[in-house]
Amino acid sequence: MKYYLIAGEASGDIHAANLMAALKDNDSEAEFRFFGGDRMQAVGGTLVKHYREMAYMGFIPVLLHARTILNNMKMCREDIAAYRPDVVILIDYPGFNLKIAKYVKKKLNIPVYYYISPKIWAWKKYRIKDIRRYIDRMFCILPFETEFYQSLNYAIDYVGNPSVDEIARYIENESIGKEEFLQKEQLSDKKIIALLAGSRKQEIKDNLPTMLKVAANYPDHQVLIAGAPGISPDYYLQYTRSYPNVKILFNQTYTLLQHSCATLVTSGTATLETALFLVPQVVCYYTPVGHLVSFVFHRFFGVDYISLVNLIAGKTVVKELFGKGFKLERIRQELDRLINDTDYRNQMIFDYEEVVRALGAPGASQRAAKLIVESLEKN
């Protein structure tokens, strides 16, 4: 069968690539054409447009690149019409993908599946109208999404979480012992505090300086930064020059988490990955006009938390210090509890284990692929 996939950012590229590999396992004649990235291209098929030419986030960047975005949509619609796939599979990226879904269903009458739901449970709940109209099947990766969509009378399939798959794959194939890790990176035997300051330059600029100041209060520990893909070492060095003992490690986030005793983490998938490694963490995320952001979040958002850990648990497992809560002293106090309060650490790890159970076993991509192929073969 012919599959057309659309991923508009780096995380979508990873998830789509894993799904494509699983589709090949379930469909020996699978052919792929896609908007995506390097990971998808490595699996095989035709890359029509790289996500680097699409990933505009925030009101101003979108406004400034409106013509490019519209041209990308036009190209995508025309390319799908010419290719005539058996199914179009959308990966998150709702601003773009839901518009494509509307065209594909109304003009081409091709099945449209969604892998990794838009976060309409947090904001833009009204998008359920478009999802009902234009999405034939939804495959979700967060367990609480099942109940959320049920409340909206829309059936979905929970297939598991790709982060569980990625970490299981790492542990089986790439994991190394702590002694080997320390020797390889020429590190001391001090306990490790890991800093995961985000994947974009603006996030790093906003969060890393405060993280470094907080971690500097613990000279008995060594501080390591997880370098983000696509960010140059020089970009980090402008913030780390005053901290000569801090080291930046690239392409080793899982190994770093595996051997850390505590972490400072910006919100996002990294909070869940940290929990899956059972590492105590503080979620800290700087925003301008923090008091206003906190007010808007608590007043207008449809969720109580920003971290995936707390969202999945349905309660406060990790402290979230964002908006007006993002203050150096509050972050320091919380990190101090993680390092020195054994009961507090143990309770967090106990709650992590509940999150792990809720996510289920590895195999999200395979389960999604199996359901997709079975569904298409019936039609």
- Read off the pLDDT of residues 358-372 as tens digits, 9 standing for 90 and up: 999 999 999 999 999
Position 66 pLDDT exceeds 60: no
Residue 201 CA to residue 189 CA, distance in Å, equals 31
For 241-269, how does the pLDDT look when each residue is reduced to its tens digit (9 = 90+)? 999 999 999 999 999 999 999 999 997 88
For residues 328-352, average pLDDT? 96
What pLDDT is recorded for position 305? Answer: 85
pLDDT in tens, 19-51: 999 999 999 999 999 999 999 999 999 999 998
Residue, of 17 and 9, whose pLDDT is higher: 17
Does the pLDDT value for residue 180 go beyond 50?
yes
pLDDT at 155 > cutoff 60: yes
What pLDDT does 58 receive? 46
Beta bridge partners of 248: 225
Burial of 2 per CB tally in 10 Å (0-12, 13-18, 19+) = middle
pLDDT at residue 238 above 90?
yes
Cβ proximity of 129 and 151 under 8 Å: no
User: CA–CA separation, 303 vs 171, rounded Å?
Assistant: 32
Q: Mind listing the domains of the chain with CATH numbers?
A: 2-160+363-378 (3.40.50.2000), 166-359 (3.40.50.2000)
